[in-house]
């Protein structure tokens, strides 16, 4: 996909980062609810080209097999286009590629991140998926909108809000 790349690690040199923006994502995933194998299949896409309700083909990264304990999955997103929102889908499937017939209705967690990128800057976002969406949830799905002021970056330490009083993100010049 043009503009947004998923990587296992961030920039290797500072010069390479100067023309790009990096978003570090941490997803704290729940343990599997039974002894049946279950995989967390994570995909990240540019929101304007890949709406959350649409099916997405292909894969970004290998799925993570869930175990008896919580698992933190870390990914890096790299782009040179900073005026892009990001959609992230986490599907909980029986098959590592989510291609088996029961996976057609796999539970999902959706995240829409508003403006998480700033050229030459590294930003951070993390989420804790408390539980796998089940029958009581609408279509076995949860959806979370992440305001740009919730995207960490450009200051040391944790704040409750990463925007200035005038509404600009702390990473904006």
Q: Residue ranges of the domains in the chain?
A: 4-153
Whether the per-residue pLDDT at 10 is higher than 90: the answer is no
Predicted confidence (pLDDT) per residue in 127-140, tens digit: 999 988 876 455 57
The label of the residue with tokens 């740009």 reads 148
Distance from C-alpha of 36 to C-alpha of 109, rounded to nearest angstrom: 20
Nearest 10 degrees: Cα torsion 109, 172, 164, 148: -10
End-to-end CA distance of the chain: 28
pLDDT for the residue 102: 81
- Residue 15's SS3 state is helix
- The verdict on pTM exceeding 0.75 is yes
Predicted confidence (pLDDT) per residue in 26-51, tens digit: 999 999 988 889 999 999 999 999 99
Degrees (nearest 5) of the Cα angle 26, 28, 34?
145
Predicted confidence (pLDDT) per residue in 83-117, tens digit: 899 999 999 999 988 888 888 888 999 999 999 99
């Amino acid at each position: 996909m043009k503009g947004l790349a998923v990587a296992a690690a961030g920039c290797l040199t500072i010069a390479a980062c100067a023309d790009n923006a990096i978003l570090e994502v941490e997803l704290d995933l729940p343990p599997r609810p039974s002894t049946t194998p279950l995989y967390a299949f994570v995909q990240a896409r540019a929101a304007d080209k890949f709406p959350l309700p649409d099916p997405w083909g292909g894969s970004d990264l290998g799925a993570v097999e869930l175990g008896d304990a919580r698992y933190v999955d870390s990914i890096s997103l790299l782009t040179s286009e900073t005026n892009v929102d990001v959609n992230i889908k986490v599907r909980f499937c029986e098959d590592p590629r989510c291609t088996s017939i029961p996976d057609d209705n796999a539970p999902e967690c959706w995240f829409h991140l508003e403006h998480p990128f700033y050229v030459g800057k590294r930003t951070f976002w993390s989420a804790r998926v408390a539980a796998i969406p089940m029958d009581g949830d609408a279509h076995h799905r949860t959806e979370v909108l992440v305001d740009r002021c919730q995207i960490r970056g450009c200051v040391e330490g944790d704040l409750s809000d990463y925007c200035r009083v005038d509404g600009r993100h702390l990473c904006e010049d």
